[in-house]
A and B are shown apart, each in its own frame.
Chain A
Amino acid sequence: MKKTGFLFDERYLLHETGSYHPEVPARLQAVYQGIKEAGLLARLTLIHASLSDLKWIEAVHDKEYIKRFEMACVTGKSTFDCPDNQICPATYETALLAVGGILDATRLVMNAEIDNVFCAVRPPGHHAEINKAMGFCYFNNVAIAARYLQKEWGIKRVGIVDFDVHHGNGTQHIFEDDPNVFYYSIHQHPSFAYPGTGREFEEGEGAGLGFTKNSPVLPGKEDSEYKRLIKRDLFPVFESFKPEVIIVSSGFDAHVDDDMSDIKLSTEAFSWIIKSVVEMSDKYSNGRLISVLEGGYSLKRLPELAKNHVEILLDYK
């Protein structure tokens, strides 16, 4: 059994998005309940979040953007940068806690106190750009963790796997010209889904050319298509990249019962995906894997999906 961390903080529930929004506190409660009711809490190293030092947020986002975000929350605005991004006064601090908690978790992994970790956070991050909030995201949690690994721990090769059903435009753009961070995403085809990016032809820019890979999936596709594409596209690139640490943007919205996409994955497919990534982390990264919650909106399915996800992080081999 592995030493697996679990980041969860009640304060993540404080970010309110109003009555008609899909990204609600109940999602996180569903995730937590699923893990708790399976009796897994006793086996996990529980991590409580601390506020992130602003310098790590600034490692990715513009200072001016961070101030604007804080101002919007403090002055009681109801949205920030776009109508999808509903905020409340607690949102800024919650976002700081999400980043802080993930960095705390990352530190534990790098100190070898734990092998891997699941970070159940809100708000999600992979759509957030350097100076723009969108798609329910404010700070790009995973991008900040990657920069933290590079700057604080001298990691030369960070691998990011994003299986949220929406392309992580923010993460891709942030590392587009960085050959030291490999960004892989599998998502619903951009012509048929938000945010409209993530085509096969997007493979990085400049020095980062060849360090981005996208697997767009047509609407209506199921498990076999996901498995085929991940085998065809992800396995070989990580085989040659050999990431020293793997960060996973874990979104569960490709599930057949999740309304936010036209993809029809089964619960089992998500287990297959994370199992494959854990195997890669064992092969290339000494088991070091940081899984971060992104989307996933089916309150009915999240408990089981979260439980399976954590069981695999814990039990593999």
Chain B
Amino acid sequence: MFVSKSMTTKVITINKDADIFEAREKMAEHQIRHLPVITKDYQLIGIVSDRDIRSAMPLSDYNSKKTSAKLAKLKIKDIMTIDPITISPLHTIQDALVLMQKTRVGAFPVVDEKGKLRGIISVRDLLRAFINVMGMEDPGTLMCIIVEEKLGQMKKIVDAITEEHISFGSIMVARYWDEEKRAVFPYLLTQNINPLKKKFKNMGYEVLDPMKWYIDQLPKND
């Protein structure tokens, strides 16, 4: 659950006196979008993102000698974000999730109490964790049943599945548009779910048509 377990520890960093071309090259080579800026003893002083680089490079005059000369003089310290948002190794992935959603920042340098850089955690790390948690890498079949939000429902569902001798890959529960209900998504490690579907129907659960599934709670602001 801890950020320390999901973060990337081999961080690609950059020095504040490096030029922006070096930053761009590093990002391209490693296919990353954020470079923490550190001192010799791994103290974090800033972060530079690909957006910072693009803002520094105006589209017009791209090839003019004057612009190139001006750009060559630009150092990381001139364009970086000083004192960026950071997260601690002992924060949890949920903390990272909520923080990322709130701040709209794609990656956080992970620093300890002494301000030393320990790693970096990005949206990609969270995606990887989500794929793992959903069990998507195992072969199986997803189902969706709508149940009333009340005590004991999960046990009934799990018992029904166990009686059919089926294993779980994962189970997700999403808030449903009807507040008194939940959409339960068991991911079952079997090809043959028909007996189970019949069972759920007989238990009075609504087995939802796949074209009606959704797990996103809030309507997007269109």
Say yes or no: B165 contacts A83, CB within 8 Å.
yes
Chain A residues with Cβ under 8 A from B136's Cβ?
196
Distance of A146 Cα from B167 Cα, bound (Å): 33
Chain A residues with Cβ under 8 A from B189's Cβ?
82-83
**Which stretch, B22-30, B41-49, B81-89, B137-145, touches the partner chain A?**
B137-145
Chain A residues with Cβ under 8 A from B140's Cβ?
194-196
Say yes or no: B191 contacts A220, CB within 8 Å.
no
Chain A residues with Cβ under 8 A from B195's Cβ?
20
Say yes or no: B192 contacts A21, CB within 8 Å.
yes
Residue B166 is within 8 A (CB to CB) of chain A in the complex: yes
In the complex, what's the smallest C-beta–C-beta distance from A296 to chain B, in angstroms? 13
Which residues 201-233 of A have a CB within 8 angstroms of B?
Answer: 218-220
Say yes or no: A83 contacts B191, CB within 8 Å.
no
Say yes or no: A193 contacts B141, CB within 8 Å.
yes
In the complex, what's the smallest C-beta–C-beta distance from A136 to chain B, in angstroms? 7
B195 nearest in chain A by CB position: A20
Chain A residues with Cβ under 8 A from B141's Cβ?
193-196
**Chain A proximity mask over B184-202: 1 for CB below 8 Å, otherwise 0:** 0000011110110000000
Say yes or no: A135 contacts B167, CB within 8 Å.
no
Distance of A195 Cα from B166 Cα, bound (Å): 14
A20 nearest in chain B by CB position: B195
A219 nearest in chain B by CB position: B210
In the complex, what's the smallest C-beta–C-beta distance from B166 to chain A, in angstroms? 7
In the complex, what's the smallest C-beta–C-beta distance from B201 to chain A, in angstroms? 13
Which has the most chain A C-beta neighbours within 10 Å: B194, B209, B210? B210
Say yes or no: B210 contacts A262, CB within 8 Å.
yes
In the complex, what's the smallest C-beta–C-beta distance from B212 to chain A, in angstroms? 10
Residue A316 is within 8 A (CB to CB) of chain B in the complex: no
Which residues 120-174 of A have a CB within 8 angstroms of B?
Answer: 127, 134-136, 166, 169
Chain B residues with Cβ under 8 A from A218's Cβ?
210-211
Chain B residues with Cβ under 8 A from A135's Cβ?
139, 191
Interface class of chain B by DSSP: loop
Given that A83-B165, A134-B139 are known contacts, is A194 also in contact with B190, CB under 8 Å in the complex? yes
Given that A169-B139, A219-B209 are known contacts, is A195 also in contact with B165, CB under 8 Å in the complex? no
Residue A104 is within 8 A (CB to CB) of chain B in the complex: no
Chain B residues with Cβ under 8 A from A22's Cβ?
192, 194
Say yes or no: B190 contacts A83, CB within 8 Å.
yes
Given that A22-B192, A83-B190, A260-B191 are known contacts, is A194 also in contact with B139, CB under 8 Å in the complex? yes
Residue A185 is within 8 A (CB to CB) of chain B in the complex: no
Residue A197 is within 8 A (CB to CB) of chain B in the complex: yes
Partner of B167, one of A83, A134, A192, A197: A83
Say yes or no: A166 contacts B191, CB within 8 Å.
yes
A195 nearest in chain B by CB position: B139
Residue A191 is within 8 A (CB to CB) of chain B in the complex: yes
Which has the most chain A C-beta neighbours within 10 Å: B165, B166, B191, B211? B191
Say yes or no: B166 contacts A83, CB within 8 Å.
yes
Residue A62 is within 8 A (CB to CB) of chain B in the complex: no
Chain B residues with Cβ under 8 A from A195's Cβ?
139-141, 191
Residue A177 is within 8 A (CB to CB) of chain B in the complex: no
Distance of A81 Cα from B140 Cα, bound (Å): 14
Which has the most chain A C-beta neighbours within 10 Å: B138, B139, B140? B139
Which residues 177-196 of A have a CB within 8 angstroms of B?
Answer: 191-196
A79 nearest in chain B by CB position: B165
**Chain B proximity mask over A19-48: 1 for CB below 8 Å, otherwise 0:** 011100000000000000000000000000
B187 nearest in chain A by CB position: A196
Residue A304 is within 8 A (CB to CB) of chain B in the complex: no
In the complex, what's the smallest C-beta–C-beta distance from A174 to chain B, in angstroms? 15
Distance of A21 Cα from B165 Cα, bound (Å): 12
B137 nearest in chain A by CB position: A196
Chain A residues with Cβ under 8 A from B167's Cβ?
83
Residue A239 is within 8 A (CB to CB) of chain B in the complex: no
Chain B residues with Cβ under 8 A from A260's Cβ?
191-192, 194
Q: Can you list 8 A-B contacts (CB < 8 A)?
A: A83-B189, A127-B139, A135-B139, A135-B191, A194-B139, A195-B139, A195-B191, A220-B209
- The 8 A-B residue pairs with the shortest CB-CB distance in the complex, in nearest-first order: A195-B139, A194-B191, A219-B210, A194-B141, A192-B210, A135-B191, A259-B194, A84-B190
Given contacts A192-B142, A194-B190, A196-B141, 15 further A-B contacts (CB under 8 A): A83-B165, A83-B190, A84-B190, A127-B139, A134-B139, A135-B139, A192-B210, A194-B140, A195-B139, A218-B211, A219-B211, A220-B209, A220-B210, A260-B191, A260-B192
Residues of A bordering B, CB below 8 Å: 20-22, 82-84, 127, 134-136, 166, 169, 191-197, 218-220, 259-260, 262
